[in-house]
């Protein structure tokens, strides 16, 4: 999952680099719901809100709720610990 830029937009503060793509994908799959992961994947692909709503069959309020849940979850310390590589030094 090559979406580090999108993750950096969604996460308030990250002190360490993300894990490798394979490890990151596994960690996100473990920490996010299927719906949240689909939303994150769509955001990483650069889809517009309208395209995402069509793809995930959401209305605007459902999109907003799901997006807010995703951002809140990504900013939880336990999720940050799962997706960041603490063995590497921050740049």
pLDDT bracket for residue 91 (50, 70, 90): very low
| pLDDT exceeds cutoff 80 at 15 | no
Question: How far does CA 55 lie from the centroid of its chain?
Answer: 17
Q: Is 2 a domain residue?
A: no
Q: How confident is the model over 49-81, as pLDDT tens digits?
A: 999 999 999 999 999 999 999 999 999 999 999
pLDDT of residue 26: 95
Is there a domain that residue 47 lies in? yes
pTM confidence score: 0.85
List the domain range (segments joined by +) for residue 39: 17-83
The CATH number of whichever domain residue 68 belongs to comes to 1.10.10
Number of domains in the chain: 1
In a domain, 5, yes or no: no
Q: Write out the H or E segment, with its range, that includes residue 83.
A: helix 77-83
- Domain contains 32: yes
Instruction: Count the alpha carbons within 13 Å of 53 in the hemisphere toward its beta carbon.
Output: 11
Does residue 57 lie in a domain region?
A: yes
């Amino acid at each position: 999952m090559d979406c580090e830029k999108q993750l950096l937009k969604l996460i308030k503060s990250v002190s360490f680099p993300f894990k490798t793509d394979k490890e990151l994908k596994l960690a996100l799959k473990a920490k996010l719901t299927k719906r949240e992961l689909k939303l994150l994947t769509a955001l990483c692909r650069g889809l517009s809100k309208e395209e995402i709503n069509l793809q995930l069959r959401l209305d605007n309020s459902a999109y907003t709720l799901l997006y807010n849940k995703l951002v809140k979850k990504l900013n939880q310390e336990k999720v940050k610990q799962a997706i960041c590589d603490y063995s590497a030094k921050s740049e």
